[in-house]
Chain A
Amino acid sequence: MPELPELDPIIHGKLRLAVLSLLLPLEEAEFTWLREKTGSTDGNLGAQMQKLEEAGYVSVEKRFSARKPQTAYRITVKGRDALQNYIAAMRALLGGAL
């Protein structure tokens, strides 16, 4: 019997998965935009973004625009690969259910 693939625990978290998927077709997105799209709180999103950053799945850039601080996130190549592997693993797990 073939071994079932394991799902990446960093990506499997619902909010982290949503953020990575949002970032996938984007060059970059601001923290406030991600918060609005996911409907999460500052604290929760901040904590999850830190986990993604520590895993090397997103990169962060802090800057000022019109004197206001901005935090912009980008998905990294590692994050892109991880998300693709995660989707492939899910499809393998689901098998005939799809």
Chain B
Amino acid sequence: MTDSHSDSQTSSPDSAQLLDRLNLIEQMVAEGRQTTERHGWIFIAWGLCYIVATLWASVGPYRAWAWWVCLGVTIAFVTAGQIRQRRKSAGAVSTKSHTLGSVWTVFSVAIMLYVFAAAISNHIGGVMFLSTICFFLGTVNVTSAAIYRWPMQSIAGLIWWAAGCYAQFTDVNGAGIAFLIATFFSQIIFGIYMMVMERRREQQQRLQHA
């Protein structure tokens, strides 16, 4: 693409030239909106972390270490994956992905502070702890859904909120089971669905470029 039209050439643009410009705007805006970002795997990774940590903390050896080890491994894995993904990305950041990234970063900081504070005060693993975690996860998912206007993610968020509400009316075992069920649907199943959608979108983008 060259700038063959001089700056003074706007005096008598014909209809064909104007339509050509309008088409160019539409095409370029669509190009800018295209994204190669993948997030489905992150949901699955965190889902597996919650399930493994919960089961290990319930029945495994060295139970006190379960959450710390699982959280540490998952944080390292997800961070490394995201750095790799960012290096491979094409060099453009969409406004929506920047907004979403900020929301999830703030959420991650808040939840880590909450977990550390709960661990130090010895409140980790109780009914209120699990319920609050469910509400945290529900809120960030519903916020993402509102930004992306994506009803499927709203459902994932609502499942977390439902688990959080249920946990308030049951004992620790019941809250743990509610947490695991919400993890399965809102992290694992939703993550797989997201990966399928991301793959479809990439195929469509490839077809458009072909």
- Chain A interface (Cβ < 8 Å from any Cβ of B): 6-10, 12-19, 21-30, 32-33, 36-40, 44, 48, 66, 83, 87, 90, 93-94, 97
Contacts and interface: CB of A to CB of B under 8 A. Distances in A.
A10 B24 CA distance: 16
Interface of B: 1-5, 7-10, 13, 15, 18-19, 21-22, 24-25, 27-29, 31-33, 87, 90-98
Tell me whether chain B's interface is mostly helix, strand or loop, or mixed. Answer: helix
In this complex, which of A12, A24, A39 has the most chain B Cβ atoms within 10 angstroms of its Cβ?
A: A12
24 contacts: A6-B10, A7-B13, A9-B8, A9-B9, A12-B5, A13-B5, A14-B2, A15-B2, A17-B21, A17-B24, A18-B1, A21-B24, A22-B28, A22-B29, A25-B95, A26-B95, A33-B92, A36-B90, A38-B1, A40-B1, A40-B2, A44-B2, A83-B25, A87-B25
Nearest to A96: B15
A20 to B, nearest CB: 8
Given A16-B3, A39-B1, A48-B3, A26 B92 contact: yes
A38 B15 CA distance: 23
Contact of B94 (A27, A44, A97): A27
Nearest 3 Cβ contacts at the A-B interface: A21-B28, A33-B91, A30-B91
A94 B18 contact: yes
Given A6-B10, A90-B22, A14 B95 contact: no
A19 B2 CA distance: 12
A15 B25 contact: no
